[in-house]
Amino acid sequence: MALIFPKSTDKYVKIGAAVLGLLAAGGGALAMLVGYPKVIMTGYQPVQPVPYSHKLHAGDLGMDCYYCHYTVDKSSHAAVPPTEVCMNCHTRVKANSPRLEKVRGSYETGKPIEWVRVHRVPDYVFFNHQSHVKAGVSCISCHGRVDQMIEVKQVEPLNMGMCLDCHRNPAPHIRPADQVTNLAWKPDRDPAEIGREIIQARGINPPEYCSGCHR
Amino acid sequence: MADLAIKDPHVTPVLVEGNPSLHEVTNDVAQIVEGINRNVPVQWYIALAITGSITLLLFAMLGYLVATGIGVWGNNQPVGWAWDITNFVFWIGIGHAGTLISAILFLFRQKWRTSINRFAEAMTLFAVACALIYPLFHTGRPWRAAYWLLPLPNTHLWVWPNFRSPLVWDVFAVSTYATVSALFWYVGLVPDLATMRDRATGLAQKIYGALSLGWRGSARHWRNYEMAYLILAGLSTPLVLSVHSVVSFDFATSVLPGWHTTIFPPYFVAGAIFSGFAMVVTLMVIARWAFQIEHLVTIKHLENMNKIMLATGTIVGYAYATEFFIAWYSGNPYERFVFINRAFGPYAWAYWTMISCNVISPQFFWFKKLRTSVAFMFVLSIFVNIGMWFERFVIIASSLHRDFLPSSWGYFVPTWVDILTFLGTFGLFLTLFLFFVRFLPMIAVSEVKGMMAHQQMHHDAHGHAAKDGAKTHDASPGLTPVTGGGH
Amino acid sequence: MIQITKKLTGKKYWRSLDQYYQTTEFQDWLNKEFPTQAQEMIDEPSRRNVLKLMAASFALGGLTACRRPVEHILPYSRGVENLIHGKPLFYNTVMSLGGSATGLTARTYEGRPTKIEGNPDHPASLGATRGYHQASVLSLYDPGRMPNVRGDGKDSDWNGFTSYVQTLSGSLGNGAGLRFLSEPMNSPSFTAVKKHALTRFPAAKWVEYSPIHTTATAQPVAPRIAFDKAAVVVALDSDFLGLDDTTVVAVKEFVRGGRKVTDENPLMNRLYAVEPQFSVTGAAADHRFRMKSSEIAGFAGALLSAVQSQELKVVGQGNSSADKALSAIAKDLAANRGKSVVVAGPRQSGAVHQIVHQINQALGNVGPVVTYLKPASDQTRPQLDALKELAGEMANGQVNTLVITAWNPAFNAPADLEFEANLKKVANVIYLAQDLDETAMASKWAIPAAHYLESWGDAVAFDGTASIQQPTIQPLHGGKTAAELVAFVSGYKDLKAYDIVRNHWLPVVGGEKAWKKALHDGVIRPAAAVAGSAAPVFDTATPAPPTGGYEVIFVPSWSVFDGRFVNNAWLQETPDPMTKLTWDNAALVSQATARKLAVAMGDVIAIERNGRKVEGAVMIQPGLADDTIVIPVGYGRTKVGQVGEGAGFNAYKIRTSDTFGYGGGFNVSKTGRVYPLARTQEFEYQEEPKLVGFQEDVVRPIVREGTIEEFKKNPHFATEMVEHPPLKSLYGDYDYSKGQQWAMAIDLNACVGCNACMVACVAENNIGVVGKEQVARGREMHWIRMDRYYTGPVDEPQVVTAPIPCMQCETAPCENVCPVAATVHSPEGLNDMVYNRCVGTRYCSNNCPYKVRRFNFLNWHINEAEVTKMVYNPEVTVRMRGVMEKCTYCVQRIQNAKIDAKVEGRRWLKDGEVTPACAQACPSDAIVFGNVNDLESRVAKMKVSPRNYGMLAELNTKPRTTYLAKLRNPNPELQPVTAAEEHHG
Amino acid sequence: MVVKHTNSPALKEKSVYGVVAEFDRPEALVAAGHQIHHGLGYKKIDALTPFPIHGIDDAIGVPRSILGYIVFGFGLFGLLNAIFMIWYTNGYDYPLVIGGKPLFAWEFSIPPMFELTILFSAFAAVFGMFALNGLPKFYHPIFEMEGWERATDDRYMLVIEASDPKFDIEQTPRVLSELGALRTEVIAK
C-alpha cells in the first residue's frame, strides 16, 4: 500500500525535536534571567522637572541627607523637602539661575514642584524609614551611592526577597548611628563585625513575620 | 468486585453478539468515524450547535465572575463554599469510572470492560476537565491562584505553597490524575489509531498516522505495550482511589462538624464509582443506540455496570447510616446537631432527595428484569447522577450553614450565575464528547478483537479447561490474547 | 434568611438603584420572589464596572508591570508647622449630641481627621466613646453634605446671602417677627452670641428643641446619678446604660461600681429593670420585668408607698411579674439605704420623676448617690411648649423671619405641629443645613453647616467642665457654625467662629498660655459650678400621655440617633445591639402581640392615630411589653444623600406632642405586604433549634453565665461547663513562653453590648460597608461582631452579649488549610492575615469555628466618593475584592508602638502602650489587651481569673482571646432562671 | 518496490528488508513462528498482529520487557523529589509557623509524596514504552507491503529479516509458505 510518510520523515522529526528541546531550554534560561528581580526591577531613572544633582549637593558639596530629607529619622516617610528648603540657600546661591526657574516659581506661587517618584514599594508594604535609620541601616542599602548620581536611579530591586535577606542577616547593613548618611563610609575592619556588635548592644531584632510589614 | 467475574467457564458470556468476524468488528467501529467523515448526519451538527452554545455560556459566566467577583455567586458567610466545590467534587467523582474500568477491572480480569473502557476513559477526561474549572475559578483572585498554588518561583520572592493544606494536596492529586488518565487513554488508543491510519486516506490518514506514531503491532511493541499497560493499570488503581480520598480530605481534615469524619475517604471513593458508572450508563445507552453498536456494547455490559451501581450505591447508603450512628455515638453535641439538621433542618429537602436517589433507587437493580431494561436503567442512572450531586451539596452546604456559633448561622441560595455556570460545564462536557465520537474510535477495537479471539479459543477448547475461571487462561494452549484477558 | 430570596428595598450603599425605582420592570419585579431576579437586579450595574474592577484589582494586586506608571511626589511648597509627613497629629476637641458634650481626641494624618477617640481627661468621656462619636468622622466626609449656600431654591453663595441679610436686617426692627430655633444649648460662647442677638432684637424669641429627650434635656433639672455608689439600681423605663444619654459616664460608673467581679472580691451590684422595650439596660439587668410605659407611673407609686411603709408589705396593683416582685425590690432598696437608686427614663413624665425623686429621698439616696444639676441650657420652660408656641405663631403669621440652627425640624418636629407646612407661612427662613434635607427644601435660605471637626466651638459637660471644639481641617464646603450664623444675622458681620470662641474664653481662662493649655488638654479647669437645688422642680404641668389601645414608644435609634446619621454608612450597617437589624428600623412587638396581630417578621403593618398613619415592617422581639410597639425614630428620610434614602419608615409622622415619649390609643392593621429586613444574626438562642422529637435539648456553652452565688460556691463553674478529653497535638506544641505574646480578655460581665467596639473597628481598619442586600446575604465585613443571645423563658427572657473578634488561635485551623500560606502565625502569637498573598479560596473561613473571617465578595470600595476615601486610615491596607480579611488585634498600632519603643531603645512595650480600637472605645472597659508574658499586665491578671474561659477551647484551638464568664446577681427572694442553671438542669 | 513470487530473484539480497508471510489465524502464526525459530533456528523474526498474541514471544524468542525496572527507578525518583521539594520549600527556604505545626513532617507530606511517585512512574511507563519500541517511527519498509492495512485489522504477519544469517531470498519464502502462510512477499529496504 502507499506510503503515508516518506523515508526522510523520521530524520526531520528527530531534528525538530532536538531544536524544540534547545529552544525550550534556552527560553527557560532566558526567562529566569530576565525574571530575576535584580534585572527587571532596577534601572528606573526618570527625568526630574528640576535638574537637581544629588552628586553636586550630597557628594561634592557634602550636604548631609538629613538636611533635605529631614523627616527620615522621625517618620515612616522620608520627606521630599518643601521648596522652602531649596530656597534657604538659593535665595543667595545661584539666586537667578534659569535652571532654578521652577523652584522659584513654586516658592512664589506656592504650587508644589512635581518631582517624579523613583523608589516605590507596593501599597500593601509598610516600610518605615525611621525605624531603619534609627537602627543604623544606611541609605546606601536601598538607594545606592546617591551621592554619586547626577540623576537619581533605582539600583536595588526593592523586592521582598531583598527585604528578607537583610532582615534575616542584618549585620552587614548595620552601622554606627553617625555613619548612616555617610555613603562613602569605609570602616577599617569588617563592617559585618561592627554590625554584629551594634546588634548585640542595641538588641536589634528585625521582624521576619508577615505583619511586620503587611497590615 | 471479584464476584462480578464470570462464574462458569463453560458458559462463555455473550460479550459480542451476532458472532461477527474480526474485520466486521473493525468496520463497525471505524465506520462510525469514517462514515461521519464522508457525510456527517445533521443531528451531529445540531447537537454540537446546542452543546457548543452552552459551552460559550460557561465562558461568559466565568468571564463575568472573574470581572465582578465571587459575589455574583450565592456564596456567603458562613457558606464559603457552595455550588463551586459541589460541582468540582461532582465532576471529579464522575471522572472515576473511566480509570476504574481501565485499571481495576483490568486487574480483576473483567473481559467485559473492553467494549466500554475507551468510552469511559474519554468520559473521565472530559469530566476531569470540567472539574478542574472550579478549583481555579472559585478563588477570589484566580489570576494569582493559577500559579501560587503550584510550587513555582515568583519574581518578588519565592514564597511557596503550604503543604499542610489539603487544597495543595488536591492540586497534586487532581493534576496527577488528569495527566495519568490522559496517558492511559492515549496508550490504549495507539493501536486503534494505527488501524484507522491503515484504513483512512488523504489528510485523515496523515493525522491518524502522526497520532499513531508509526505503530506496527510488532511482537516487540506488544510486549512493552502490555507491560506498560499493566503498570499503568497497577499505578492507576491506587491513584483512582487516592484522588477522591484526597478530595475528601478537604473536608475530613477540617474542624467542621459534618466534615471532620474518618469515614470520608472510603465513602467518597464508593460514591465516586457510583456516580461514574451512572454517567457511563447514561451516555452509553444513548451512544450505542445512536451508532447502532448494540452488538458490541451488549445488555451484558450494561447489566454489569448496573450491578456495580447497586453495590456501590448500597455502600454509600451504609456510609450515610454510619455517619448518623457515629454522630450519635460520639456524644458530641455539635456533631449530633449537624446530622439532625441535615435530615430535618432547612436543607432537609436536599438530604431526602439524596437519600431517595442514591440509596433507594439503586435497590431496584436487584431485579434482573429492571437492570436489563435499557429504558429503566437510563432513567435510574440519571436519578443517581442527581442524587450524587445532592450528596456533595448536602455535605458542603448543610455542614457549613449551621456550625458552632448560632450567631453566624445562615442559608445559601444559588444565583442565576451559579446555575448557568453549572449548566455550562455540561455543555463543555458534551461538546468534548461529540468531538470524541466524531473523530476517534469509541471502542477499543484491538482489545475487543483480542477478547473475541480468546473466546474463539474457548470454544475450540470446548471448555476442557479447569473449573476455575481464572485458571482457564493458563490452561488453554498458549494462544490466549492478553489485553482484556490478563496473563 | 428568607429575606435573601426576597425583594430588598432601601438604598443599596455600594451602588445606586435610582434607575430601577421608575421602571415598570422593577414594579413587576417587586412581586416576584426568585433569587435569580434579585441577583439580576443587584448585578446589573456592576457590569458597567467591569473594566474599572479589573484595573483596580490588578493595581491593588501589585502586579509588577515592566513599564512603571509615572508617579509624582508633591511636597509642600512651604513647610507646615509641627507636621511630620506620615506621623499622625492628635487634636483634642468636643462633640455635642442630644444636649450633652463628650470630649474627644481626633487623629489626623496630613490634616485629615481619620479616627476619633475619647479624651481620658474629659469627665463625660473618660477615654471612651459611643458609636456616634466614632462614626462622626465619616459624616464629615459625607458626599451628601450641603455643598454650597442655597437661596430661594437656587444655588447661591455667601455673598448672595450677605446682601440678602443686609436688606433683611433693615426690616427686622426690634425683632418682633424674628425667631431663633436651636438645639439645646450647651455652648457658652453660643449662649453669649444668643444674648447679643436677643439684646439686639429685644422682641425676638429663642426656642430650643431636640427630638430626642435625654436625661440632660428631658426635665428642667438634670439628675446626676453616681452609679458607682449604688449597690442596688432600679431602672424604670430607663436606658441609662444605653441611649438615655449620649455620653458613657453611666456605663463607666455602673461597671466600675459593681460588675468587675474578681474572686478576691466577689461583690456585685444589682440592677432591676422595669421597661416596655428591651434596652441594653434590660439586658444587663439581674432582674428584668416588662411593663407598658403607661403602667410605670403606677408601679413607681406603689414602690414609693412600699419604701415609705415601714413593713414593706405593699404589693403592686397590677399582676404583672414586676408587681409580684415589688415588695422584694422594695426590701432590697430599703436594705441599701443611701447606697441604692431608683431612676426613671426621660420618656417618663415629670410626675414619675417626681415620685422617683421621693423614693430616693425616702431611701436617703439623694445626696450620696443622686444630686441634681443645672442643665447647660438656660431655657426653663419645657421644650415642647416653646416649640408649640412657635408653631402657633408661624401658623398665624406672627413670624416673618426664622433662623433655624436646630437639626431638620421639618422632619422631626411633632406631627401635630405641622412644622413643614408652617415653615411655608414664614417669609424668611434661614436654615443651617447639614445636607439638603426636608427643612432645607422648605427654607428660603439654606447655609451649609460646619462639621464639629472643621470649626471652632465649645461645649460644657454635665459637670460644668467646658471644652473647646478645635477644628482639625478647613471647612470642606465653607460651612458656618450656628454661632457664626446667628452672629451674622444679628449684625455682627465678619465675626468668625474662632473669634467668637476665643473672645469668650480668653478672659475666662486668663491669658494666651491658659488658652493654649485649654486647647491642648481639651478641658478647661476648674469647671463652672452647676449644682442645682436639693429640692428639684420637675415638669409636672405637662399631662401624662394618652393610654389605651396599642401603646407606641418612640426611642432613639442606635444607628441614626434622631435621624441625623441616616447618611452615615458605618452606623447604618452596625446592627442594633438588641434586634441586630441593619439599614432599617422596624415596629418591634412581643410574640403575644404579634400573635394577636397575626403578623410575622417582616409583615408591614399600618399604625394610625387621629388620622396620622405610617406603615412599617414588624419585627418580633422577645421580652417586650405586650400591646406595645417600640419604634426607633429617625428613619424614612425623604430628602437625603445616597446612603440613607429609603431606609426604614418615618415614625415622626405619628409622633405628636402629646405622645412625644410614648402614648396609647394607636390602631394597628395589617397591610398584607412584606418588607424584608436585613439582620446580622438570625438565631437568637444558644439552645439548639428543636428540629425533631427525639432531639435532646442542648444549650451550647458559648457565652457562659452563672449567678454570683454559683461563682462563690464554685469559681471555676464556667470552665467546668464543658468536659472534653485531654487536648493533645499530633506534633507537640509551639513554644510561646518567650517574648511579647499578645492576647485579649473580654469581661462578659462588664460588656453592655453597645457596639462602640464595632464602629471603632470599622473606623480604624478601613472596613468596607456592603449595603443591605449584602448584609441579608450574610456578607457583612465587621471584624468584631456583637453576638446577642436570649436565655430563659421566651416571654421573659434575659440577654447575654459577647463581642467576638478573631481569637488569634495558637493552633489556628484557618492557617493549616490555606494553600498559599496567606495566613500564618507571628512569633508574638498573632494570626497574621496577608492580603497581598491571599487568593481567596475561603477555606480558612470555612474552617474557622468562630466564623470571624470576612471575605471581600465584591469590591466594596468601588462606588465610594473621593471625599469619603479621605477617612481611610493610611496605616491599614484597603483590601481589594477576592481576598479574605479579619481582626488583626490592630497590628498596625502594635507595630508603630514597637517602632517608637525601639527608637527610644526599649525592647518591651509597657502595659497599655498598645490598645486596639475596640478596647480603646469600650465604655465598660470589658475588652482588655496586652502581653500575657508580662505577668503584671491587666490582661495576664484577667487570664488567671477563675471566670476566664476559652470559647470552643475544647477544639484545641488555644485561643488568645478569652472571655470572663458573665455573672448575674439575682435577688434570692425572686428565684430567677439563669442560663447556668439550665446547663445543669 | 515490491516483487511478486519467489522464482525470479530480481532482488539483490542487500537491498531487501526481509520476507513477510501472511496468516489468517493466530494459532497458525504462532505455530509457524515456533517452527521457524526453534525448528529452523532463524533469529531475526518479528510478528505483526492487530492485537497481542499470547505465546508469540516465546515462539519467536522475544525476551521479557525491561520496562518495569525503568518505571521503578523513576517512581523512586519522584518520591525523593517530592520529599525534597516539601522539605526545601516549607522547611528550609521559607520557614513559616503555620497552625503551630512543625516546618516539615512526614504526616502532612504523604499525599503529595504519593501523587508525585505515581506521576513520575506513569510518565516513565508511557514514554519508556515508546522509547523501547523505537517510536515514533513514521517510516518503515513493512508499510510498503501489499495488503498491510489488514495487519492492523484481521491478518497476522510474520517477518524474517534479511539481516538474519540463515536468511535466503529463495528458501525463506518457500519455508514460510509451507508453514501455512496465505502468501509471502519480499520487502525492499
Q: What is the CATH number of the domain that holds B296?
A: 1.20.1630.10
For chain A, what is the mean pLDDT? 87
What is the 8-class DSSP label of residue C559? T
For residue C854, list chain B residues with Cβ-Cβ distance below 8 A. 77
Segment D28-37 mean pLDDT: 86
Q: In 3D, which of D4, D40, D17 has the Cα closest to residue D189?
A: D17
Q: Chain B contacts of A40, Cβ < 8 Å?
A: 155
CB of D53 within 8 Å of a chain B CB? The answer is yes
How close A208 comes to chain D (CA, Å)?
9
Predicted confidence (pLDDT) per residue in C405-443, tens digit = 999 999 999 999 888 889 888 988 999 999 888 898 889
Residues 6+ apart with CB under 8 A from C427: C400, C401, C444
Which chains reach chain A with 3 or more Cβ–Cβ distances below 8 angstroms?
B, C, D
**All residues at 6 or more sequence positions from D136 whose CB lies less than 8 Å from its CB, including other chains:** A10, A13, B213, B214, D130
C-alpha–C-alpha distance, residues B257 and B332, integer Å: 9
In this structure, is residue B151 part of a structural domain?
Answer: yes
Q: Please check whether residue C151 is in contact with residue C440, taking contact to mean a CB–CB distance below 8 angstroms.
A: no
**pLDDT score recorded for residue D26:** 84
Q: Kindly report, residue by residue over C850-871, the tens digit of the pLDDT.
A: 999 999 999 888 878 888 888 8
Q: Give this complex's ipTM.
A: 0.89
DSSP for C21-53 reads: HHSHHHHHHHH---HHHHHHHHHHHHHTTHHHH
Which ranges in C238-380 belong to alpha helices (H)?
Answer: 249-258, 280-284, 293-308, 321-335, 350-362
- Which residues of chain C neighbour B159 with C-beta distances below 8 Å? 820-821, 837
Gap between the Cα atoms of C353 and C343, Å rounded: 8
Crossing angle of helices B166-199 and B445-460, rounded to 10°: 70
For residue C50, pLDDT beyond 90 = no
Q: Answer yes or no: is pLDDT of C957 > 50.
A: yes
In the DSSP assignment, the letter for residue A100 is: G
Test C825 with D99 for CB contact under 8 angstroms: yes
Among residues A134, A151, A162, A116, the alpha carbon closest in space to that of A72 is found at A134
Q: Nearest C-alpha of chain B: how many angstroms from A22?
A: 22
Q: Which stretches in chain B have pLDDT values below 50?
A: 1-13, 462-487
Q: Do C779 and B71 touch (CB under 8 A)?
A: yes
| Mean pLDDT, range C947-963, rounded to an integer | 92
The answer to whether C635 and C582 have CB atoms below 8 angstroms apart is no
B416-439 and B83-94 are packed helices; what angle lies between their axes, rounded to 10 degrees?
A: 20
CB–CB of B68 and C47 under 8 A? yes
Average pLDDT over residues C59-77: 54
Minimum mean pLDDT among B227-231, C133-137, D155-159: which range? D155-159
Average pLDDT over residues D92-110: 90
Chain A nearest-CA residue for D96: A209
Q: Of B153, B156, B214, which is closest to A160 when you measure between CB atoms? A: B156
Whether residue C877 and residue A215 make contact (CB cut-off 8 A), yes or no, is yes
DSSP track, B52-97: HHHHHHHHHHHHHHHHH-GGGSS--SS--SSHHHHHHHHHHHHTHH
Strand C445-448: give its sheet, edge to edge: C154-155, C150-151, C445-448, C428-433, C401-404, C178-182, C205-208
Q: How far is B49 from chain D (nearest CA, A)?
A: 35
How far apart CA C124 and CA C130 sit, in angstroms, is 11
Identity of the residue in B155, B157, B205 whose CB atom sits nearest the CB atom of A4: B205
Residue at B224 is within a domain: yes
- The pLDDT of residue C316 is 54
pTM of the model: 0.89
| Residues C812, D99: C-beta atoms closer than 8 Å | yes
B429 to chain A, closest Cα gap in Å: 32
CB count in 10 Å sphere of residue D5: 10
Q: How close, in Å, is residue B114 to chain A by CA atoms?
A: 29
Q: Is C233 on the interface with B (CB under 8 A)?
A: no
Average pLDDT along chain C: 84
**What cell numbers appear for C555 in the block?**
426611642
Any domain includes B448: yes
Domain that holds residue B340: 22-455
Min Cα–Cα distance to chain B from D165, Å: 20
Does the structure show a pLDDT above 70 at A164? yes
Distances (CA, A) of C966 to C231, C268, C706, C724, D8: 18, 12, 6, 22, 112
Residue partners of C511: CB distance under 8 A and separation at least 6: none
Q: Best of C64, C73, C824 to disrupt the A interface by mutation (most A CBs within 10 Å)?
A: C73
- Distance from the Cα of D3 to chain A's closest Cα (Å) equals 13
Measured between alpha carbons, how far is C655 from C453 in angstroms, rounded to an integer? 32
Residue B6 has a pLDDT of 37
pLDDT of residue B460: 56
Q: How far is the C-alpha of A79 from the C-alpha of A100, rounded, in Å?
A: 20
Q: Do A141 and A166 meet the contact criterion of CB atoms below 8 Å apart?
A: yes
pLDDT of residue D14: 66
Q: Number of A to D CB contacts under 8 A, please give it.
A: 25
C-beta separation of A139 from A69 below 8 A = no
Query: Is the bond into B78 cis (omega within 30 degrees of 0)?
Result: yes
Residues of A in contact with C73 (CB under 8 A): 80, 114-117
For the segment D6-18, what is each residue's pLDDT rounded down to a tens digit? 444 445 556 888 8
| Ordered DSSP codes for B384-427 | HHHHHHHHHHIIIIIHHHS-S-GGG-------HHHHHHHHHHHH
Distance of alpha carbon D102 from its chain centroid, rounded? Answer: 48
> Closest Cα of chain C to A161: distance in Å?
14
As a whole number of Å, the CA-based R_g of chain D is 25
Domain ranges of chain D: 2-63+136-188, 67-133
pLDDT digits (tens, 9 = 90+) for D61-81: 888 889 999 999 999 999 999
pLDDT at C28: 36
Asked whether residue C49 carries a pLDDT value surpassing 80, the answer given is no
- CB spacing of D126 vs B199 below 8 angstroms: no
Of C514, C468, C479, C444, nearest to C190 by C-alpha is C468
The shortest CB-CB distance from A37 to any of B155, B205, B209 is to B155
Average pLDDT of span C313-340: 79
Distances (CA, A) of C512 to C198, C507, C515, C524: 30, 9, 5, 13
Number of domains making up chain B: 1
A4:D144 CB<8 A: no
- Asked if the structure places residue B414 within a domain, the reply is yes
Residue C393 amino acid letter = E
CB contact under 8 A, A112 and C70: no
Cβ neighbour number for residue C383 with a 10 Å cutoff: 22
pLDDT digits (tens, 9 = 90+) for C619-655: 999 989 989 999 999 998 887 777 777 788 999 999 9
Q: What is the pLDDT of residue C743?
A: 94
Identify all chain A residues contacting C826, using CB atoms and an 8 Å cutoff: 207, 209-212
Whether chain C has a CB inside 8 Å of the CB on B69: the answer is yes
- Number of C-beta neighbours around residue C510 at 10 A: 10
User: Span C349-372, mean pLDDT?
Assistant: 90
A46 has a pLDDT exceeding 90: no
Q: Which residues of A touch D144 (CB under 8 A)?
A: 1, 3
The count of C-alpha atoms lying within 13 angstroms of the C-alpha of A150, restricted to the half-sphere facing its C-beta, is 2
Q: Is B186's Cβ below 8 Å from some Cβ in D?
A: yes
* Residue type for position D134: G
Per-residue pLDDT at C905: 83
Chains contacting chain C through 3 or more C-beta pairs under 8 A: A, B, D
Nearest-angstrom CA–CA distance, C478 and C454: 9
Tell whether B450 is covered by a domain: yes
- Find the range with the poorest average confidence among C381-390, C806-815, D79-88: C381-390
The count of C-alpha atoms lying within 13 angstroms of the C-alpha of C668, restricted to the half-sphere facing its C-beta, is 26
Report yes or no: C418 and C445 within 8 Å, Cβ to Cβ. Answer: no
With CB atoms and an 8 Å threshold, state whether C73 touches A77.
Answer: no
